[in-house]
């Protein structure tokens, strides 16, 4: 019997110990910190895309995948907030002259940017 084998269907490597093949389940995934967007996406795929979530777990790719989603979503969110604020002339000058109006407009912009990121990246797989 071979000392090491790889399952063609799952891609998991096995080592022969005695008469039994034991899976090599050492995580090759790096330990990235997952932010707000990554955690939201994890909950979504865990609840609605269980097969995809399980595949990522068994292939030790969940952490890097969620990190990538988190980075993309953060960049998209920051860009959207900046672009929307420029389009609507929400500036530091407005903040200095009318703080309440600035806060209302920025809250509106943040909410719209959040909805766009949720639709485009977080609640899809």
pLDDT digits (tens, 9 = 90+) for 28-49: 556 788 999 999 999 999 999 9
The pLDDT value recorded for residue 27 is: 59
- Contacts of 22-27 with CB under 8 Å at 24 or more apart are 25/60, 27/60
Domain extents in the chain: 1-30, 31-122
Is there a contact between 5 and 87 (Cβ–Cβ < 8 Å)? no
Torsion of Cα atoms, 47 then 49 then 52 then 55, to 10°? 30
Overall average pLDDT of the 14-25 stretch: 85
DSSP code of 25? -
Q: Is the pTM higher than 0.85?
A: no
Mean pLDDT across 64-73:
95
């Amino acid at each position: 019997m071979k000392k090491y084998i790889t399952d063609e269907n799952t891609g998991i490597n096995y080592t022969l110990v005695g008469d039994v093949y034991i899976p090599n389940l050492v995580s090759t995934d790096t330990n990235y910190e997952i932010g707000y967007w990554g955690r939201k996406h994890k909950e979504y795929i865990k609840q609605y895309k269980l097969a995809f979530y399980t595949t990522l777990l068994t292939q030790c790719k969940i952490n890097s995948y969620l990190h990538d989603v988190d980075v993309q979503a953060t960049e998209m969110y920051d860009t959207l907030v900046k672009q929307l604020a420029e389009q609507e002339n929400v500036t530091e000058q407005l903040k200095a002259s009318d703080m309440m109006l600035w806060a209302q407009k920025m809250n509106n912009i943040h909410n719209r940017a959040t909805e766009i990121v949720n639709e485009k990246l977080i609640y899809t797989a």
